[in-house]
């Protein structure tokens, strides 16, 4: 168990990294080492560090994502996106339109994923700082300190919830289209299997030495890869 001096050292390291970010002298590396050290702390100690770790994480994240929105506005955008997808789904089913159904599937697959992950994280005790777009996909930046504060199995479940939304959207449209638009059913079924296959492939590759999945980037930064990473990296308590 780390001593009080050990906790004070981590707090000082957090402040040093914040100062480096504000002065523009930060270089990649120290954050990963800091997270590794914090993960080795007790549950109580991680909770005590939740606020400063969240603050530092947000500052690092804002280096790459400077355009962000307050969480309430992000929630409204997310709900409007889901409502728009469901509206196109209704139009597609009513008019047997392949294109309306495909548009519905695309909108829903980009909105279901963050919505399900947001709800799951909130139930598990993870909180969120703000809303941003990753290319065209809406996302919610979690308060990283609250993520570290929950236990390992909760973090695994949180990541796994991120694998549900996208395939669910394609499955829903394929299922409801049925006899209304066989073409839309086939296309959405193929997309469902493709996304499901990518998630399963990422889960499998997460147990190997392969670190990247082509254009998807580092495996451990995907939802499925993050779940496997948490499963494999049981922290050793000091």
Q: Provide the domain count of the chain.
A: 2
* Parent domain of 120: 69-137+149-232
Whether 104 and 6 map to the same domain: the answer is no
- Tell me which of 64, 80, 107 is where a domain ends: 64
- Whether residue 128 lies inside any domain: the answer is yes
- Whether residue 142 lies inside any domain: the answer is no
Token representation of residue 140: 């919610």
The model carries a pTM of: 0.87
Whether 131 and 40 map to the same domain: the answer is no
Please report the pLDDT score of residue 179 as a whole number.
Answer: 86
Whether 84 and 154 map to the same domain: the answer is yes
Whether 20 and 109 map to the same domain: the answer is no
- Whether residue 163 lies inside any domain: the answer is yes
* Segment 175-233, tens digit of pLDDT: 999 989 999 999 999 999 999 999 998 888 888 867 776 666 677 778 888 899 889 87
Please report the pLDDT score of residue 124 as a whole number.
Answer: 96
* Segment 21-73, tens digit of pLDDT: 988 888 888 898 999 889 988 889 999 999 999 999 999 999 888 899 999 99
b/e map 107-125, b = 16+ CB within 10 Å: bbbbbbbbbbbbebbeebe
Please report the pLDDT score of residue 26 as a whole number.
Answer: 86
Q: Which helix (H) or strand (E) holds 138?
A: strand 137-142
């Amino acid at each position: 168990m780390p001593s009080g001096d050990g906790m004070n050292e981590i707090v000082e390291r957090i402040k040093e990294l914040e100062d480096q970010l504000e002065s523009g002298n930060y270089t990649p590396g120290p954050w990963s080492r800091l997270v590794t050290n914090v993960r080795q702390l007790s549950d109580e100690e991680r909770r005590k560090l939740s606020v400063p770790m969240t603050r530092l994480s947000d500052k690092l994240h804002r280096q790459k994502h400077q355009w962000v929105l307050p969480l309430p506005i992000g929630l409204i955008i997310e709900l409007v996106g889901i409502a728009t997808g469901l509206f196109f789904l209704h139009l597609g089913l009513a008019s047997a339109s392949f294109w309306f159904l495909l548009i519905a599937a695309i909108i829903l697959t980009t909105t279901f994923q963050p919505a399900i992950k947001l709800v799951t994280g909130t139930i598990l005790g993870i909180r969120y700082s703000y809303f941003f777009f990753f290319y065209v996909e809406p996302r919610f930046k979690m308060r990283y300190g609250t993520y570290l504060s929950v236990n390992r199995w909760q973090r695994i479940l949180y990541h796994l919830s991120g694998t549900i939304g996208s395939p669910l959207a394609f499955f829903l449209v394929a299922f409801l289209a049925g006899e209304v638009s066989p073409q839309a059913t086939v296309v959405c079924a193929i997309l469902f299997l493709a996304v499901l296959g990518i998630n399963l492939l990422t889960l499998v590759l997460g147990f190997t030495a392969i670190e990247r999945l082509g254009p998807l980037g580092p495996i451990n930064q995907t939802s499925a890869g993050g779940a496997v990473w948490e499963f494999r990296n049981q922290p050793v308590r000091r």
